[in-house]
Structure 1
């Protein structure tokens, strides 16, 4: 279409949409001062087509590169999807950040789209962006964890939400592999996350002058040894996360359990949830280790199972009925957990997270807000691992503690920055390795 320079792109798009019947995402306006012509005087349509396709081809390469970096060292092609590649929750968050930056916005269900098709969904950037609510919950949860550890405020609940998201993500991203008994694919993301945890354990072991064996074997949260001979209790989440994944793998290694879960995922999930809730109440009667009891697998397993069940609630009546039951359960747990401010805050936050996962799958935010939230969400695991390392070493030397306003503010800022920096460094390293691999495989 030929237009005068003062015609707005939106006006051109409206005419093109009316003339072709194509939706907006499939149309793009480009401007040129002149059109290249052949020797015969006719328009060179081949060069025009190459110009129009060049940005799309570049976008496809950018999407492929993003996936190759995320799934390194696996091979990735245009026909692959996030699910067929074996993506997990952390990769989902990290790729969401990268793809939002490249494509402008992500279509719903992008995890099942072939990468070649995904690259063609690029849209202009808007002032607002629709974000997967799980990403926002993850960012809010890790922010609560950092604030809770840096202050004396009774605001637990961030780690509990993260545990629930572990179960929800297992159902969302790994259910087909679990149903098929492909346990290796489920363990692969766990191994990658523990590889990042290993230097933290090594660092604490060097600082303590001994190998912290309970933490090496991921059982420090079970109270087998005294705190001086294990990692600080704040790392219980990593151990509980690993134990949860291993428990799921063990359960789905049993063919009969696999068949039942595949045929009746919600019913079987509710049955396991009832067992997990009973274990939370009954375990202290036969195995009581005091305060650290709240960090053990029996005490928090119900949260992961709850997250698993939430994914399979596929109708509004089921969601409403289940939410009512969970609301009652949270009230009971808040009272049973000591009936104090922190207990009520924790379980009301969990109930709020349940509500969001059930009834608000996506949340529209201003673009600037999304640009702040998505990096924190993508780096949530890194923030958890490193958010206390520098503050615990630096702030006492500066005589800054929780009794001074500057202390918590510095701890929160340094904690978030530490995790974000480690996340960025890891991305740079993996990107470099992926680039090196691609360059070595190119034909001479």
Structure 2
């Protein structure tokens, strides 16, 4: 049978590294050669077979891929975590073997199914890649051995790859661009690093730097993430080349990375390609990159580009738009929908890309539009019709369109916008900030009754222009609150990793701008907020009062301060704060927990733990001893004493319990099965989690005797956070009623039956009242002056909690015995609140100062 070997003859038998992994493991060319030969032997070289591989970033996958090609078989590289696509593929293409993990091991499994299509595969067929990724039916691009080799050698040639090159492979192997990085480096005798972490991981720069990577290839979204990770500030001495493809990179980022690589005597390549052409079609030579680059460049070596008009006639003059047509040895054999299609030979001489382009006088091409309804967003090819079908199956009528900057959907039911965004985010595999959903009364229609997408597109572009011209101050507010993160108009409060503290800070920032935020705004992009009923900004006369959780937070911290000073029987403040912590996690972090993005989910802890550890450090200096229990955030478990300087005072137990709550949620959602269940049935999953938390509250204390300090432990208070979490998912009357009944039973029992003193009764009844308010009273109307004071206290809740006891125990200590007790208590309470507000304002002022300084140095970011 015909076959291909991407490992060149000159590299065989050598000890030079071929594959490298973050944990230090490496495969030499000699080892890779022997392992691929063993895999090829397993498959045999008789009848040509189709092998479907779960394309994880793994040495097992690379060995299987190369081994199958060496044996002359055909390979299908499949997304590893999409069972629906796998099932569609198995039914349509009936692979002879599958290679994927099972029971903790990689297994080569022979597939035997009745009714298998016995028609032989075409001898030239080498590779199947799915065109629509995770979001469409099992339609495949058929690529030949010649396609793979021609494209790999062409890329290696114009990038001037050699055995000295080492690529950092961050792109998936089922994606044609990622696979081409592997192919081109191996055929040049170079090496490939699998970093094992995303570009946003704090270890990423160190991993690729230590590995001596010379090359980095990414999609446009990869470069936006690199900017957030401050990639250009890193010292990567070996880096000599960077490439981008998979969509249009913003011209400002092209300029930044062109100049960055030029300063390092390296090169930056802007490229264009399609899976149908085995990945690459065109590139812009680094020396030709302009300051406002929007071109895709010239054809790769061995290929040619041209334009045709609507009738298929060639366009020779420059400046005239037409469909881009590519010719070259890497053009696919054709598409395939089922097994019998794999018997067909090459059916195309040229590839009509579906992109509308123009050629300039220098012979460079530029994409100006799309011929069909799809777009490449963050490197993924997204079909708009497929996205509409996904929403239709969920009972949501929608019109979907978009461009390289993101996906835009319109629905006619305003209550479905949040659900539609979650469905589209999951189906498209796009980050949430690249998916926008807006409501409109109806869809514009053509005379034929079909949706008038041209009208919607004009409306979308007009609204985008309005938003970009009108949201400057709002965008500035977001940037001040989220400094030092980079914020663009397509970001939302949730995707930026917002939390309850930043929520309150942003409310204050926007109040100064006389802006009212609509319900559900935290899930909407800054740009989409401008699409909801009229021009931006929304004025205060449209507001319906302060959010209830903001008022409750202010009341809770006041209860804490008063209780700590007077020991009156009103100890419910910290319990309400724990309830609100869970509610905040559900509102702002649940998307990150449910998708496994724990770095974003845990980001809120930074604003609490940094000042907490500063306080711990202050105590350590004053005591000349290290309070290890507080440093490890475990002082609330009753094994340490402040008197022995093992922990700081008991009142900080809430910070420890809050951090432990985040840890427990992270451990729960670290299990993929838990995430899948929570995504499908979030409220039911939350009730199950509540049952476990309540069971822990009643079952653990009898077996753990730590006296009265058990009330500070995580198992004693975790159920309060879960009640708040459940409230975040109680989005209809039936769910609210269920949660109310459960809370009445549990909190009522604790308040009226298990109570040991009046304070316990007041505590749990206060928490129950707060839960009812969260469920049934979304906003609270207050007089203007009172509302501003309440907002100020709520925004400063954590600074007040951390610092309020310094007033009576440090500042007022010298005069404690000379002042009347009521007056001293009043000074302690008002002073504690005041010092917390001052600390909060000082931090906000510092953040705003740094933000303005940074914004003055950075360009405006309006796209993905």
TM-score (norm 2): 0.43
Cα RMSD of the aligned pairs, angstroms, is 2.2
**CA–CA distance in structure 1, aligned partners of residues 664 and 542 of structure 2:** 44
Shift of 1:62: 2.0
Within 5 Å, give how 1:170-185 maps onto structure 2. 170-185=585-600
Residues 274-310 of structure 1: per-residue CA shift (max 9 Å, x gap): 2211211221221110011000011111101111111
After superposition, the Cα gap between the structure-2 partners of 1:438 and 1:308, relative to the gap in structure 1 and judged at 3 Å, is same
- 1:150 is matched with 565
Shift of 1:127: 11
- 1:344 is matched with 761
- 2:472 is matched with 61
Residues 369-396 of structure 1: per-residue CA shift (max 9 Å, x gap): 1111111111111111111112211223
**CA–CA distance in structure 2, aligned partners of residues 74 and 95 of structure 1:** 15
| 2:858 is equivalent to residue 441 of structure 1 | yes
Within 5 Å, give how 1:99-138 maps onto structure 2. 99-116=510-527, 118=529, 120-126=535-541, 130-138=545-553
Confirm or deny: 8 A CA contact 2:554 2:790 kept in the other structure.
yes
**CA–CA distance in structure 1, aligned partners of residues 485 and 584 of structure 2:** 21
Within 5 Å, give how 1:320-339 maps onto structure 2. 320-339=737-756
Shifted more, 59-68 versus 360-369: the winner is: 59-68
- 2:816 is matched with 399
Shift of 1:78: 2.0
**CA–CA distance in structure 1, aligned partners of residues 582 and 857 of structure 2:** 39
Confirm or deny: 8 A CA contact 1:128 1:367 kept in the other structure.
no
Shift of 1:402: 10
**CA–CA distance in structure 1, aligned partners of residues 739 and 819 of structure 2:** 40
Shift of 1:57: 8.0
| 2:770 is equivalent to residue 353 of structure 1 | yes
After superposition, the Cα gap between the structure-2 partners of 1:215 and 1:316, relative to the gap in structure 1 and judged at 3 Å, is same
Confirm or deny: 8 A CA contact 1:179 1:259 kept in the other structure.
yes
- 2:695 is matched with 278
- 2:499 is matched with 88
Residues 81-106 of structure 1: per-residue CA shift (max 9 Å, x gap): 21222211211111011112213432
Confirm or deny: 8 A CA contact 2:805 2:832 kept in the other structure.
yes
After superposition, the Cα gap between the structure-2 partners of 1:391 and 1:127, relative to the gap in structure 1 and judged at 3 Å, is farther
| 2:631 is equivalent to residue 220 of structure 1 | no
Confirm or deny: 8 A CA contact 1:100 1:106 kept in the other structure.
no
Shift of 1:108: 2.1
- 2:796 is matched with 379
**CA–CA distance in structure 1, aligned partners of residues 674 and 857 of structure 2:** 45
Q: Which has more radius of gyration? A: 2
1:98 equivalent among 509, 514, 532: 509
After superposition, the Cα gap between the structure-2 partners of 1:233 and 1:401, relative to the gap in structure 1 and judged at 3 Å, is farther
After superposition, the Cα gap between the structure-2 partners of 1:399 and 1:290, relative to the gap in structure 1 and judged at 3 Å, is same
- 1:11 is matched with none
User: Per the alignment, in what secondary structure is the counterpart of residue 603 of structure 2?
Assistant: helix
Confirm or deny: 8 A CA contact 2:590 2:601 kept in the other structure.
no
Shift of 1:56: 9.3
After superposition, the Cα gap between the structure-2 partners of 1:402 and 1:197, relative to the gap in structure 1 and judged at 3 Å, is farther
Q: Structure 1: any 5+ residue segments left out of the alignment?
A: 1-54
Within 5 Å, give how 1:14-33 maps onto structure 2. none
- 1:202 is matched with 617
User: Per the alignment, in what secondary structure is the counterpart of residue 545 of structure 2?
Assistant: strand
Shift of 1:227: 2.4
Shifted more, 194-203 versus 79-88: the winner is: 79-88
After superposition, the Cα gap between the structure-2 partners of 1:442 and 1:274, relative to the gap in structure 1 and judged at 3 Å, is closer
**CA–CA distance in structure 1, aligned partners of residues 709 and 777 of structure 2:** 34
Shifted more, 120-129 versus 320-329: the winner is: 120-129
| 2:845 is equivalent to residue 431 of structure 1 | no
Confirm or deny: 8 A CA contact 2:563 2:569 kept in the other structure.
yes
Shift of 1:442: 5.4
Confirm or deny: 8 A CA contact 2:572 2:766 kept in the other structure.
yes
User: Per the alignment, in what secondary structure is the counterpart of residue 365 of structure 1?
Assistant: coil
Confirm or deny: 8 A CA contact 2:808 2:828 kept in the other structure.
yes
**CA–CA distance in structure 1, aligned partners of residues 549 and 470 of structure 2:** 26
Confirm or deny: 8 A CA contact 2:690 2:719 kept in the other structure.
yes
User: Per the alignment, in what secondary structure is the counterpart of residue 103 of structure 1?
Assistant: coil
Confirm or deny: 8 A CA contact 1:319 1:358 kept in the other structure.
yes
TM-score (norm 1): 0.83
**CA–CA distance in structure 2, aligned partners of residues 237 and 271 of structure 1:** 24
**CA–CA distance in structure 2, aligned partners of residues 148 and 161 of structure 1:** 14
- Structure with the larger strand share: 2
Shifted more, 202-211 versus 216-225: the winner is: 202-211
Shift of 1:59: 6.2
Q: Structure 2: any 5+ residue segments left out of the alignment?
A: 1-465
After superposition, the Cα gap between the structure-2 partners of 1:70 and 1:128, relative to the gap in structure 1 and judged at 3 Å, is closer
Shift of 1:267: 1.7
**CA–CA distance in structure 2, aligned partners of residues 58 and 285 of structure 1:** 62
Point out which structure has higher relative CO (alpha carbons under 8 A, 6+ apart). Answer: 1
1:303 equivalent among 720, 731, 735: 720
- Structure with the larger helix share: 1
